[in-house]
């Protein structure tokens, strides 16, 4: 035989009354719900707009076409258009003004080979002597329109009258767009 279970209750349950704290809790829950309702509406509207943008993107916007299969002829035309755009934004006027302002009687500019893709220019020139060559190089190095002006090579022309110095200079211009 088992003894009967004892239920001991040290604090008898009292009837609970609604107090001011319970009313305040209910009021704050109601206000929180009212504040979150507009947020839910905004998020719903945002989701609709994102779905509409995805639908437009899938229909053939330029971004979608760039991700899809590319026609080789179209790719070639695009590449050519990009090269033309780079040529158009090259500061030819500034470059020519720079070279014109560095001109001296003792240095003759023989060739100018620009590389638009590298944003650099290679100059071939001839000077009466090494002092004139170095003075010309220094003038180009001090010009703020050029960057990284470097003497690439030089050679004394022994067979020419007056033994001039033929040299090549490489310089860059501006920052990449």
Dist. CA 65–CA 76, nearest whole Å: 15
Q: Give pLDDT tens digits for 3-29.
A: 888 877 777 666 666 678 888 888 999
End-to-end CA, the chain: 96
Q: Residue 128: exposed, middle, or buried by beta-carbon count in 10 A (0-12, 13-18, 19+)? A: middle
pLDDT at 102: 82
Q: Give pLDDT tens digits for 51-98.
A: 888 887 777 656 545 555 667 888 888 888 877 776 677 777 778 888
Tokens of 76: 């070639």
Comparing 8 with 141, which gets the higher pLDDT?
A: 141
CB-CB neighbours of 87 under 10 Å: 11
Q: Does residue 167 surpass a pLDDT of 90?
A: yes
| Cα distances (angstroms) measured from residue 83 to each of 77, 89, 134 | 10, 10, 34
* E strand segments, 31-145: 107-115, 120-127
Instruction: Give CA angle at 134 (141, 136), nearest 5°.
Output: 55
Q: Residue 174: exposed, middle, or buried by beta-carbon count in 10 A (0-12, 13-18, 19+)? A: middle
pLDDT at 100: 84
């Amino acid at each position: 035989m088992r003894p009967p279970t004892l239920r001991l209750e040290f604090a008898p349950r009292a009837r609970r009354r609604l107090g001011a704290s319970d009313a305040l809790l209910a009021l704050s829950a109601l206000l929180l719900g009212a504040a979150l309702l507009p947020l839910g509406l905004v998020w719903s509207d945002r989701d609709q707009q994102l779905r509409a943008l995805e639908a437009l993107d899938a229909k053939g916007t330029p971004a979608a076409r760039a991700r899809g299969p590319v026609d080789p002829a179209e790719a070639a035309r695009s590449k050519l258009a990009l090269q033309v755009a780079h040529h158009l934004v090259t500061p030819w006027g500034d470059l020519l003004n720079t070279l014109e302002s560095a001109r001296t009687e003792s240095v003759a500019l023989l060739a100018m080979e620009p590389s638009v893709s590298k944003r650099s220019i290679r100059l071939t020139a001839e000077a009466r002597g090494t002092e004139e060559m170095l003075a010309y190089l220094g003038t180009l190095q001090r010009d703020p329109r050029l960057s990284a002006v470097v003497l690439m090579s030089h050679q004394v022309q022994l067979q020419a009258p007056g033994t001039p110095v033929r040299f090549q200079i490489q310089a860059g211009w501006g920052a990449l767009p």
